Structure formats: structure tokens, C-alpha cells
């Protein structure tokens, strides 16, 4: 298990083995999601990585807000 210490400037360095395993790079954007007593650290995907994500989705069963009961 990798650990890190919160600095006096409230910064944390992510251990190298974690960065390498997750393939995280300098300059990436992350979001923090509170979970109980901890936090999930999740990289924000780039728009280019989302391209084609919904390819082949069936639009026939689409419902908008007016269709909800």
C-alpha cells in the first residue's frame, strides 16, 4: 500500500508506483468524490477519449424529462 503526506500547502504527491500503474501523467485533471471518511480520486476523461462512446446506442427508447412520471 502506498502512502503520502499532506503538506503545509495542502498538497499531496501521488506515489510513482501508483502513477505508473494508473498511467497518469502530469497535467491531467482529476475530480474528488467524497466517500464516507475518504475520497475517490478520478481522472476526468478528455473529450477525444469519449468520442464514439455511444456508437450503436438504440435511440428508439429515448425518453426526455416530459416523458417521466
Question: Is the full-model pTM beyond 0.85?
Answer: no
State mean pLDDT over 24-29: 94
pLDDT (tens digit per residue) in 41-58: 999 988 888 888 888 777
Cα dihedral sign for 62, 66, 68, 69? negative
State mean pLDDT over 2-13: 95
Cα dihedral sign for 16, 18, 23, 29? negative
Inter-residue contact 33 to 42 (CB < 8 Å): yes
Distance CA 34, CA 32 (A): 6
**Look-up: residue for cell 476523461?**
45
Classify residue 6 by its DSSP letter.
Answer: -
Amino acid at each position: 500500500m502506498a502512502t503520502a503526506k499532506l503538506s503545509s500547502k495542502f498538497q499531496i504527491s501521488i506515489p510513482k508506483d501508483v502513477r505508473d500503474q494508473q498511467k497518469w501523467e502530469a497535467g491531467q485533471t482529476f475530480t474528488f468524490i467524497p466517500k464516507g471518511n475518504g475520497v475517490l480520486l478520478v481522472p476526468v476523461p478528455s473529450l477525444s477519449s469519449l468520442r464514439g462512446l455511444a456508437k450503436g446506442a438504440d435511440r428508439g427508447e429515448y425518453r426526455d424529462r416530459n416523458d417521466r412520471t
